[in-house]
Structure 1
Amino acid sequence: MVERRATLGLLAHVVMVLAVFIVAFPLYLAFVASTHTAQEIVQAPMPLLPGIDGWDNYMAALTGHGGGAGSNAPVGRMMWVSLVTALVITFGKIAVSLLSAFALVYFRFPLRGLVFWSIFVTLMLPVEVRILPTYKVVSDLGLLNSYAGLTIPLIASATATFLFRQFFLTVPDEMVEAARIDGAGPMRFFWDILLPLSTTSIAALFVIQ
């Protein structure tokens, strides 16, 4: 029995090592290719050891001044734009979704259910369906080639709104009544009670986005 377990353990480790190799080897090849010139990469057989042109290649990619097809697309600039848009979209999406879910759960207004289902239905529309209308709206607003054009259309999120709404529905009514008795208004209840309770959902959404 002990020998069988040892054999199974050894086999499991062999499979895991093989899986790591299968995943890591293409990444290693990409790194090796980034340290060689284009002429060296296309030669057969392809080199399997890092070359001496890595620093020059990375600086050319980051600055866009190395010549070649990518000279007009500096990676450094693209990474900065991606970072800014990702942070703005994430924080904006969380803020808008929190307030939207708060209004849908704790405020009574006409057609509240219709508003929620109108938001929910957008989950059924894939990005491919929305991309052209979104581009048209951004173009008509004069927001092309700007951070606003990249971020504003993506801040509204039906997924995040639905996530926070479902969480707010689990908050006991007694907590709402206790806050009302203590004189807490809607926004104080939101900031002092709901927001601290929502940290787990906020963290999960931040990671997903």
Structure 2
Amino acid sequence: MDLAEKTRRRRRREAVVTHLCLILGVLIFAFPIYLTIIGSTHDVNTIGRGDVPMVPGGEAVANYTQAWEAGGGRYMGTPAGRMLANSLVMALLIAFGKIAISLTSAYAVVFFRFPGRMVCFWLIFITLMLPVEVRIIPTFQVMVDLQLINTMTGLVVPLIASATATLLFRQFFLTIPDEYVEAAKIDGAGPLRFFRDVVLPLSVTNVAALFVILFIYGWNQYLWPLLIVNDRSLETIVVGLTKMIGGGDSQNEWNVIMATAVYALLPPVAVVLLMQRWFVKGLTETEK
């Protein structure tokens, strides 16, 4: 057996082992999701006995309808439809707000020359060490003073700034050739026109990639919505899911809870699937 044939066989074995590991990893991560989907199609007694079949049941329509319209059965919480709408609005506002603020602040730091601009950048950057969980008490007090408790504004504004996105946009803007700036000046383009006609078109893929990340970040928020919102009409689906799970001897309607969990999975999965090409392109593309 020559060396080339041995190399081909070794590569085939490595490819088989790699794919087996990938398949095993997918199965490990996908099995809880599959179990949730299957559980949402059975009645409460089947799941209450701990007897969850591996095949779908016949109660899917009833369970999803109850979760969408009436909440968690005995829990009688906020309907999943309302919670989905609240979470969707919050996630979209957070994503668009973070991108807008980060774009403009990074643009100012890179393309404008003013005293203290790097000080401003580093002040933004060090806020990475101060997440919401660290500053939650003073932030909550500010929201109380501004009378923004139980409002969508109070839910979104403390989460709307992003030092990470500002840093990423700044690093991207630094790669834009200086010739673009000089050409814009020769054409008589001002800062706003240069931003609109040159910087934004070049940043489309980066914006798309960050939108996916920031949307999922906003969608998964738990602690701040739990603290700032007491009004059931503004409850998000992540918080609502935890409240549907009772403690002590209370019997949970796991079939409805699992149906609500499936609802909670749909928007972020849809965003990732719909923007997958832009997401990968934004993270890997280096040509300007």
Rg: which structure is higher?
Answer: 1
Partner of 1:23: 29
Partner of 1:152: 157
1:53 equivalenced with 2:59 (yes/no): yes
Partner of 2:144: 139
Aligned length: 208
1:205 is paired with a residue of what secondary structure?
A: helix
| 1:10-89 superposed matches below 5 A | 15-64=21-70, 67-69=73-75, 71-89=76-94
Q: Could you say which structure has the greater relative contact order, defined with CA pairs below 8 angstroms and 6 or more residues apart?
A: 2
Partner of 1:127: 132
- For the structure 1 residues 38 and 5, does the alpha-carbon distance in structure 2 shift closer, same or farther, using more than 3 Å as the test? same
1:190 equivalenced with 2:189 (yes/no): no
1:68 is paired with a residue of what secondary structure?
A: helix
- For the structure 1 residues 13 and 124, does the alpha-carbon distance in structure 2 shift closer, same or farther, using more than 3 Å as the test? closer
Q: Which runs of 5+ in 1 are unaligned?
A: none
For the aligned residue pairs, the C-alpha RMSD in angstroms reads 2.4
Q: Deviations over 1:160-183 (max 9, x none)?
A: 111111211222222212211211
Amino acid paired to 1:120: F
Offset, 1:20: 3.9
**Conservation of the 8 A alpha-carbon contact between 1:64 and 1:73:** yes
**Conservation of the 8 A alpha-carbon contact between 1:57 and 1:66:** no
Q: Which runs of 5+ in 2 are unaligned?
A: 1-5, 215-288
The whole-number CA distance in structure 2 between the counterparts of 1:62 and 1:33 is: 16
* TM-score calculated relative to the size of structure 2: 0.64
The whole-number CA distance in structure 2 between the counterparts of 1:4 and 1:109 is: 60
Offset, 1:50: 2.4
Higher mean C-alpha deviation, range 59-68 or range 110-119: 59-68
The whole-number CA distance in structure 2 between the counterparts of 1:13 and 1:106 is: 46
**Conservation of the 8 A alpha-carbon contact between 2:71 and 2:78:** no
- For the structure 1 residues 18 and 89, does the alpha-carbon distance in structure 2 shift closer, same or farther, using more than 3 Å as the test? closer
Offset, 1:149: 1.3
Amino acid paired to 2:207: I
* TM-score calculated relative to the size of structure 1: 0.86
**Conservation of the 8 A alpha-carbon contact between 2:143 and 2:154:** yes
- For the structure 1 residues 28 and 175, does the alpha-carbon distance in structure 2 shift closer, same or farther, using more than 3 Å as the test? closer
Q: Percent identity?
A: 56
| 1:92-107 superposed matches below 5 A | 92-107=97-112
**Conservation of the 8 A alpha-carbon contact between 2:97 and 2:160:** yes
Offset, 1:23: 3.2
2:189 is paired with a residue of what secondary structure?
A: coil
The whole-number CA distance in structure 1 between the counterparts of 2:20 and 2:123 is: 52
